Amino acid sequence: MAAILLKNISVGDVRRDLLIEGGIIKRIEAAGACSGWDLAGDLESMDCGGKAAVPGFVNMHVHAAMSLMRGVGEDMKFHDWLSHVWRLEEKIDPEFIYWGAKVACLEMIRTGTTAFNDQYWHSSETRRAAAEMGLRCALGYTLLDGFDERKAALEQARAEEDYELYGDCPVYVLSCHSIYTVSADTLCWAADFARRRGIPLHIHVSETRKEVEDCKAAHHGLSPVEYLDSLGFWGPDVIAGHCLWLSERDVRLLGDAGVTCVHNINSNTKLASGYRFLYNELRDAGANVCLGTDGCASSNNLDMLEAMKTAALVQKAWRDDPSALPIPELMQCASYNGAKALGIDAGRIREGALADIAIVDTDNSFFLSPAPFEANFVYSAHSDCIDSLICNGCFVMRHREVPGERGILDAARDVLRKICA
C-alpha cells in the first residue's frame, strides 16, 4: 500500500498538508510543512490547490443490490410497493446481487461514500463486491421468518452458519427485517446471538403509520418501539432504519438505550411514508442520529449529499424553523455518527483516524461565495464535485475515474437483460 500525500488541501477552511500511511491519517500540518517531512519510499503525491477534504460519507441504511431495481413500483404506497418488490425478488439470484452491489459501490464511490450498512439477501455477494471496490461495508445475515415456526428454526440455523463463515469480517452486522416479518422468538434469538458476540443489530422500525397501527392492534396497544422494548431488543448496538412514526415515549426509549436511528428522507418522501422525522427530539433524548439513502428501488439513488440537502430542507420546512438541522450536525449525521455506530474511527479528518476521505473540487460556481465551505458543499454543490475518494488509505476514485467502471455497467446490463427476458 503506497503512502499518499495530499498537498495544500483545505481542511475546515484551513490549508494543510496531509499524509496517509497504512490506511491511517498519519500527519496533518500547515500547508508547506511537508517539504520538511522525511518521505522516502512508495509515495503518491496529489497537489490539492482548489480542493478540500471532507470525511467520506457513511450511508447507514442501504440495500445495495437494489441499484438494479430502480423505478420498480413507481408511485406506489409503501406496503403495495413492498409486495411488488417481493415478487421481483423471487426472480433474483446471487449473480444479480453481486452485480447490483458492484453498481451500488460504483455509485457510492462517485458520490463520496466510503462505508455503508447494508441489509439484503446473499450478503456475502455484497461483501465480495464491496471488498473488490475498496469500500467498507457492514452487513451479515438477514432474518425473515414470516412467523412460521419451522422457518424460524431454519433462519436461525442459517444465520449461525453465515456467522461461522463470515463473522470475523469487519463489520459483521446481524439483521432482522422488521417486526411485521420476523417473529418475537427470532427477534429475541437475534438480540441474544448478537450480544453474546458483540456485533450490531440492524432492523426497520416504525417506517409507516400502518406498521405502527398494525403493531398496536396485534400487541395490546404497544408501538413497534415499545414492543421491541418488551422483548429486550434495544441497546446501543442496534441500528434502526427509519424511526419515522414515534410517540414521545418511543423517543425516550430509543434515546435512553442510545439506539442509532437512521433517517432516510428520500425514500420516506417518495413512498409517501412520512416526513416528520423527530431529529431534535431523538438527538436530545440521546439517540445517535445518522443518515441513509435506503435502497435504489425507493430512493432512487445512493447519493448522500442529495439526501443531506433534502433532509435539511424538509426538517426546516415542517418545523417552520430555518435553523433546524444545522450544517455541522448534518455533516456529523452523514459520517461521524455512522462510523461511531459501526465501531470504526472514521468520520473526522484528524491524525490517527482511518483515512476515509473525499477530496472535493471547489473550483466551480458552487463554492464562489464567501460562505463557509460546508454550507456551499451541502446546499449549493452536487456530488460530482467529489473529485477523488480515498478509502482505507487507498484511492478508489481519482479525478472522477473509477477503475473497472465500464465492465461493471456492461455486466449489470447483461444481468438485467436475463431477468427481464
Does the protein bind a copy of itself through residue 182 (CB under 8 A)?
no
| Contact with a copy of itself (CB under 8 A) among 166, 379, 398, 403 | 379
Distance of CA 173 to the CA centre of its chain: 13
Secondary structure string (H, E, C) spanning 38-103: CCCCCEEEEECCCEEEEECEEEEEECHHHHHHCCCCCCCCHHHHHHHHHHHHCCCCHHHHHHHHHH
Residues 336 and 356: beta-carbon distance below 8 Å? no
Q: How far is the CB of 95 from a copy of itself (least distance, A)?
A: 15
CB of 180 vs a copy of itself, minimal distance in Å: 19
In which order are the strands placed within the sheet that holds 260-263? 142-143, 174-178, 201-205, 238-242, 260-263, 288-291
Rounded least distance, CB 268 to a copy of itself, Å:
7
Binding mask 52-91 for a copy of itself (x = CB under 8 A): ---------------xxxxxx-xxxx---x----------
Distance CA 174, CA 18 (A): 36
| Least distance in angstroms from the C-beta of 210 to a copy of itself | 12
Are 162 and 418 contacting, i.e. CB atoms less than 8 angstroms apart?
no
How many other β-carbons are positioned within 10 Å of the β-carbon of residue 230? 12
CB of 378 to a copy of itself, least distance (A): 9
Is 412 a binding residue for a copy of itself by CB under 8 A? The answer is: yes
Q: How many helices (H) and strands (E) does the chain have?
A: 16, 17
| Residue 374, CB-side half-sphere exposure with 13 Å CA sphere | 15
Spatial separation of the C-alpha atoms in residues 178 and 175, rounded to whole Å? 9
Tell whether omega for the bond before 171 is within 30 degrees of 0, i.e. cis.
yes
Nearer to a copy of itself, 142 or 266 (CB): 266
Minimum CB separation from a copy of itself for residue 209, in Å?
Answer: 9
- Rounded to the nearest whole angstrom, what is the least distance from the CB of residue 10 to a copy of itself in the complex? 15
Give 3-state DSSP helix, strand, coil % of the chain, rounded to 5. 45, 20, 35
Candidate list 39, 192, 317, 343; residue touching a copy of itself; CB under 8 A: 317
CB of 48 vs a copy of itself, minimal distance in Å = 18
Residue 107 touching a copy of itself (CB under 8 A): yes
293 near a copy of itself (CB under 8 A): no
By CB under 8 A, tell whether 123 contacts a copy of itself. no
Q: Extract the C-alpha cell encoding 14.
A: 484551513
Smallest gap from Cβ 153 to a copy of itself, in A, equals 37
CA 302 from centre of chain: 9
Selection from 111, 140, 132 nearest residue 408 by Cα: 132
Distance (Å) of CA 301 to CA 59, 215, 370: 12, 30, 30
CB contact set of 65 (below 8 Å; sequence gap of 6+):
92, 96, 97, 98, 100, 101, 104, 120, 121, 125, 126, 295
Among 271, 289, 358, 391, binds a copy of itself (CB under 8 A): 271
The correct pick among 61, 122, 136, 270 for binding a copy of itself (CB under 8 A) is 270
The answer to whether residue 329 forms part of the interface with a copy of itself (CB under 8 A) is no
- Stated as kind and residue range, the H or E segment containing 280 is helix 279-285
Closer residue to a copy of itself in complex, CB, 123/383: 383
Of the candidate spans 25-33, 83-91, 116-124, 311-319, the one that interacts with a copy of itself by CB under 8 A turns out to be 311-319
Interface with a copy of itself (CB under 8 A), residue total: 67
Q: Is 301 in the site for a copy of itself (CB under 8 A)?
A: yes
Q: At what angle do helices 327-334 and 304-319 cross, to 10 degrees?
A: 140
Pick from 384, 394, 398, 403 the residue near a copy of itself by CB under 8 A: 384
- If the CB atoms of residues 179 and 314 are measured against a copy of itself, the closer one turns out to be 314
Per CB under 8 A, 15 contacts a copy of itself: no
Q: What are the residues binding a copy of itself (CB under 8 A)?
A: 67-72, 74-77, 81, 103, 106-107, 110, 265-266, 268-272, 274-275, 296, 300-301, 303, 306, 309-310, 312-314, 316-324, 326-327, 363-366, 368-372, 375-376, 379-384, 409, 412-413, 416, 420
